[in-house]
Amino acid sequence: MKIVVIGGGAAGLGAAGAAKGANPNAEIVVYTEFADVAYSPCGIPFVHGNEIESFETLFLATKEQYVQTGIDVHYETTVTSIDTDARTISVEGEGEVNYDRLVLATGWLYSDPGLAGSDLEGLYRVKDIRAAMEWDKVIEQSKSAVIVESGFIAMEMTSALRHRGLDVTLVDPGPYPMSDVADPEIVEPVRQQWEDMGVDLQWGNNVTAYRGNGKLTHVETDNGDVEADIAIIGTHKTPNNALAEAAGIKVGTTGGIIVDSHMRTSVDGVFAAGDCTEIPHGVSNVPLQGLSGSHAYAQGKTAGVNAGGAEREYRSVYVPWGMLAGEWMLGGVSFGEVTASALGLEFVTGTANGITRARYYPGVKPITVKLLADPASRKLIGGQMVGGEGIKERADFLGMMTRTGIRVDQIATMENVYSPAIGALNEPIAVAAQNLLAKL
Amino acid sequence: MKIVVIGGGAAGLGAAGAAKGANPNAEIVVYTEFADVAYSPCGIPFVHGNEIESFETLFLATKEQYVQTGIDVHYETTVTSIDTDARTISVEGEGEVNYDRLVLATGWLYSDPGLAGSDLEGLYRVKDIRAAMEWDKVIEQSKSAVIVESGFIAMEMTSALRHRGLDVTLVDPGPYPMSDVADPEIVEPVRQQWEDMGVDLQWGNNVTAYRGNGKLTHVETDNGDVEADIAIIGTHKTPNNALAEAAGIKVGTTGGIIVDSHMRTSVDGVFAAGDCTEIPHGVSNVPLQGLSGSHAYAQGKTAGVNAGGAEREYRSVYVPWGMLAGEWMLGGVSFGEVTASALGLEFVTGTANGITRARYYPGVKPITVKLLADPASRKLIGGQMVGGEGIKERADFLGMMTRTGIRVDQIATMENVYSPAIGALNEPIAVAAQNLLAKL
């Protein structure tokens, strides 16, 4: 059997490895437009911020390792079309290539609102590691930057560029950072920190054009011009699905490929995984697009197992998330109050301000936990957190609570570890649940 | 109504505060033998180790604050007997004192095997903060110490005394550190670290006597004498229940007071909470004694609420635990393999060696997760972990998984946060569950 994977990111490589595991005799070919696979693009902002020493450390495996595991990766190779009836793809420089099973893992692109000057030199769309290496030299020569919209990567780039000493202006149409995913009081410490760091924060403002003579010199906005050597494009992720759409594979309302629980697309023999798909949210059933690298990897593995002829299911997602934003960590699961309200969900909230270790133990950090529950079922529908440590683990916890439908009553009486150096007497998740219950 | 609490630790103060909350008009009196309440005894080893600057920081509230909240604390006051028929207690210097409801929160003592020389100067039973302040000066003058058995506090004291430059010998009857609660491969990094720090580790050895002329000079063991200026007594906790037993209140097989789900003892109007009680374990139903400060506090609050006339239930415990042991953190929930085997439980294990952040992100630490599940129900029966960060939060997670009976299948496919600075692509708990499933 020949399994072809289009895309060399977390989903594509996850699929290739899992397909080989499920079917060791299968021929596995991966096509990627890029010069590399198997690196961690999520690390790029931290190299720019000098938190990580070099881009080289982001590579997970060498090309030789893929050869040895029997996965044939074709680098810098563009697939131009798919014929799902003939089960072939057209590959630049290779012609028609047949497949028995195809996995689409074509990933995402930054949403492009088509502004004037979008092709100027100086607009940085953080994504590819080779480009990042070149951009790092540009950053070194730059004095000023505009961050266009406060998505996850843009948030990390804001901290990174201030570390590098650039003047940074953040232009975002929302009223506060990450307003489409986070509640205002949760993200406030991050906003305050950037203000303290001297970032020029322009909320409720829109970029309207990029100007310059070949190279960016300033960004036009609703509220006037901002001089900038570079602009970091932090617009939303959109699925990279031109190939799939042209081949007649069904995409959903988000533009993501519609997949079933086995990551099968609408066309027989074709699977999809990662940021090019859409996945139903477990609470709302709203299709979601543009999840995390761990989702892409898990979806890829599911697609690969099934493409290889074994069986694995992928479930609805509840999307625990987390990130470092300067000195703070942000995280949560599913929805905050803003999103839940927008979706018309009924909910009750409970918030607790706590600490991560005993109050007197060195390194103790503040942490705020806000929970949302359905008043009828008393099950969690989401949560948001900001704090100094332990956010990723708590987001995973809340993810599992939401997914398994554990009631707030149970969370309110959870047992927790108390040991001065690693945990406080009161777990803030439990206290938030107690405060929520008090309102029911 | 008059509610009397005997004991000024986490359980006693938790009970007093909760009783006042449930019944603001009640008269609340707390008796304690000590000069202080409301400090964190768990912090004492870290002050000795110079991790925390001073003993003063361990105090949570001033005596004045208790006066203001309407809780009448009688310090350095000994209760000598209880008459549950007359509903009175005898108090040294106060005579007979009546009560409507009584809460026993008399805590624990170090198990005393009655060895010769147990009353010598130089034997330190870490517990009371005033004594700790005096002992800190003794430690400053001391050159050598023997740690007698590797309980939780003794483990922390081992690190602390090495930080202070003392020669430290650890004498423990078990084959490795904490062998009654932890599995050997989990605790091995801690053992190795102590060996590297130059602690003389004597496993499978027993202290048989303390020798000296008024003051300790050496400790006799099965394997010969050890010179020591001080000995840290790290024997097991036993419930401090002489008062309760003399009053005819029923105690169980562990010596702990038997309580129902409302923390009621066998005698009407008398409640108990904290280390003087025994609580059934959720998996095995074995009564447990000597849990953590957060358990004592939660039990105290339950006892106080019920004593005050409102209603609250306390459930079976699954006991997530965690601690700092030098550079490592240890933790888990319920049982490891050693204890589960001793209890005759059927189980399958799954282990994963993971990392806490992206492999290339500064501060990334190793972490090992070992899970035990019942092969029939596929539910967790326990877990053990060792790692560099995120142990407390993961122990809380496993505690909730065990308590709510979530199957390993669900844990194996959990969603997890991946963000380079705070979490790795693969969550080791999920991988351990996958490895466990592979054996089923």
Return the residue of A nearest to B398 by Cα: A397
Predicted pLDDT of residue B286 = 86
Percent of chain B with pLDDT over 70: 100
pLDDT over threshold 90, residue A61? no
Predicted pLDDT of residue A293 = 85
Return the residue of B nearest to A418 by Cα: B294
Indicate if ipTM > 0.90.
yes
Residue range B343-383, pLDDT digits in tens: 889 999 999 999 999 999 999 999 999 999 999 999 999 99
pLDDT over threshold 80, residue A134? yes
Residue range B310-330, pLDDT digits in tens: 999 998 889 899 999 989 999
Give the pair of three-digit tokens for residue B97.
């004192």
> In this structure, how many other beta carbons lie within 10 angstroms of the beta carbon of residue A389?
20
Residue position matching structure tokens 């960060």: B389
pLDDT over threshold 90, residue A301? yes
Q: How many CB pairs under 8 A join A and B?
A: 208
Return the residue of A nearest to B322 by Cα: A417
- Chain B residues in contact with A359 by the CB 8 A cut-off are 60
Which one of A386, A416, A427 would you mutate to disrupt binding with B, by most B Cβ within 10 Å of its Cβ? Answer: A416
Which one of A53, A311, A392, A401 would you mutate to disrupt binding with B, by most B Cβ within 10 Å of its Cβ? Answer: A392
What's the CATH class of domain B2-37+75-109+237-307?
alpha beta
Which one of B415, B422, B434 would you mutate to disrupt binding with A, by most A Cβ within 10 Å of its Cβ? Answer: B415
Q: Whose CA is closest to B433, among B364, B348, B376, B359? A: B348
State the architecture of B123-233 in CATH terms. Answer: 3-Layer(bba) Sandwich (3.50)
In this prediction, residue B38 has a pLDDT band, given cuts at 50, 70 and 90, of: confident
- Chain B residues in contact with A396 by the CB 8 A cut-off are 397, 414-417, 423, 427, 429
Would you state the torsion angle of the CA atoms of residues A159, A161, A165, A169, taken in this order, to the nearest 10 degrees?
Answer: -90
- The closest CB to that of B422, out of A51, A297, A324, belongs to A324
Do the Cβ atoms of A187 and A337 come closer than 8 Å? no
- Chain B residues in contact with A361 by the CB 8 A cut-off are 43, 46, 51-52
- The closest CB to that of B52, out of A10, A361, A392, belongs to A361
Give the pair of three-digit tokens for residue A349.
């909230």
Predicted pLDDT of residue A421 = 95
Angle formed by the axes of helices A10-22 and A293-307, nearest 10°? 30
Which one of B55, B379, B393 would you mutate to disrupt binding with A, by most A Cβ within 10 Å of its Cβ? Answer: B393
- The closest CB to that of A392, out of B298, B315, B422, belongs to B422
Return the residue of B nearest to A358 by Cα: B43
Give all strands of the β-sheet with B380-387 in edge-to-edge order: B320-325, B328-334, B380-387, B366-373, B348-355
Contact A358 B395 (CB under 8 A): no
Residue range B418-437, pLDDT digits in tens: 999 999 999 999 999 999 99
Work out the minimum CA distance from A330 to partner chain B, whole angstroms.
10
Q: How many residues does chain A have?
A: 440
Contact B416 A399 (CB under 8 A): yes
Q: Which residues pair with B382 in a beta bridge?
A: B334, B372
- CA distance linking residue A272 with residue A304, whole number of Å: 9
- Chain B residues in contact with A414 by the CB 8 A cut-off are 396, 399-400, 403
Contact A423 B397 (CB under 8 A): no
Contact B46 A421 (CB under 8 A): yes
Taking CA atoms, B417 is separated from A284, A324, A353, B140, B357, in Å, by: 20, 12, 22, 46, 10
Residue range B278-311, pLDDT digits in tens: 999 988 888 988 888 889 999 999 999 999 999 9
Contact B396 A416 (CB under 8 A): yes
Work out the minimum CA distance from A98 to partner chain B, whole angstroms.
33
pLDDT over threshold 90, residue A115? yes
Look at the domain B320-439 and name its fold: Enolase-like; domain 1 (3.30.390)
Give the pair of three-digit tokens for residue B104.
């026993």
- Chain A residues in contact with B406 by the CB 8 A cut-off are 400, 404
Mean pLDDT (chain B, rounded): 95
- Chain A residues in contact with B393 by the CB 8 A cut-off are 390, 393-394, 397, 423
Do the Cβ atoms of A284 and A291 come closer than 8 Å? no
Q: Tell me whether domains A2-37+75-110+237-307 and A123-233 share a fold.
A: yes
pLDDT over threshold 80, residue B61? no
Query: What one-letter code names the amino acid at A316?
Result: S
pLDDT over threshold 90, residue B335? no
Do the Cβ atoms of B211 and B217 come closer than 8 Å? yes
Angle at A277 between CA A116 and CA B415, to 5 degrees: 115
- CA distance linking residue B321 with residue B325, whole number of Å: 13
Q: Which comes out higher in pLDDT, residue A381 or B60? A: A381
For domain A2-37+75-110+237-307, give its CATH number from 3.30.420.40, 3.90.1150.10, 3.30.450.20, 3.50.50.60: 3.50.50.60
Work out the minimum CA distance from B38 to partner chain A, whole angstroms.
12
pLDDT over threshold 90, residue A290? no
Do the Cβ atoms of A234 and A222 come closer than 8 Å? no
In this prediction, residue A180 has a pLDDT band, given cuts at 50, 70 and 90, of: confident
Work out the minimum CA distance from B134 to partner chain A, whole angstroms.
20
The domain limits of chain B are 2-37+75-109+237-307, 123-233, 320-439
Work out the minimum CA distance from B222 to partner chain A, whole angstroms.
33
> In this structure, how many other beta carbons lie within 10 angstroms of the beta carbon of residue B124?
23
Work out the minimum CA distance from A58 to partner chain B, whole angstroms.
6
Predicted pLDDT of residue A196 = 96
Predicted pLDDT of residue A126 = 96
Return the residue of B nearest to A422 by Cα: B392
Element (H, E) at B185: helix B184-196
- The closest CB to that of B42, out of A391, A392, A419, belongs to A419
Query: What one-letter code names the amino acid at B307?
Result: A
Q: Please write down the HEC assignment for all residues of A282-326.
A: CCCCCEECCCCHHHHHHHHHHHHHHHCCCCCCCCCECCEEEEEEC
- The closest CB to that of A395, out of B293, B411, B417, belongs to B417
Contact A360 B394 (CB under 8 A): no
Contact A358 B42 (CB under 8 A): yes
Which one of A129, A328, A415, A426 would you mutate to disrupt binding with B, by most B Cβ within 10 Å of its Cβ? Answer: A415
Question: Which of A110-124, A284-298, B241-255 is predicted least confidently?
Answer: A284-298
Contact B422 A322 (CB under 8 A): yes
Give the pair of three-digit tokens for residue B406.
């979530």
> Which runs of E-coded beta strand occur in B113-229?
123-124, 144-148, 167-172, 200-203, 207-212, 216-221, 224-227
Contact A416 B422 (CB under 8 A): no
Question: Which of B92-101, B138-147, B172-181 is predicted least confidently?
Answer: B172-181
- CA distance linking residue A367 with residue A431, whole number of Å: 12
pLDDT over threshold 90, residue A315? no
Work out the minimum CA distance from B54 to partner chain A, whole angstroms.
9
Residue position matching structure tokens 């409507």: B100
- Chain A residues in contact with B413 by the CB 8 A cut-off are 298, 315
Taking CA atoms, B375 is separated from A311, A317, B183, B400, in Å, by: 22, 27, 20, 19
- Chain A residues in contact with B294 by the CB 8 A cut-off are 415-418, 425-427
Mean pLDDT (chain A, rounded): 95
Which one of A292, A422, A426, A427 would you mutate to disrupt binding with B, by most B Cβ within 10 Å of its Cβ? Answer: A422
Average pLDDT over residues B53-68: 86
Secondary structure (3-state) at A248: coil
Secondary structure (3-state) at B299: helix
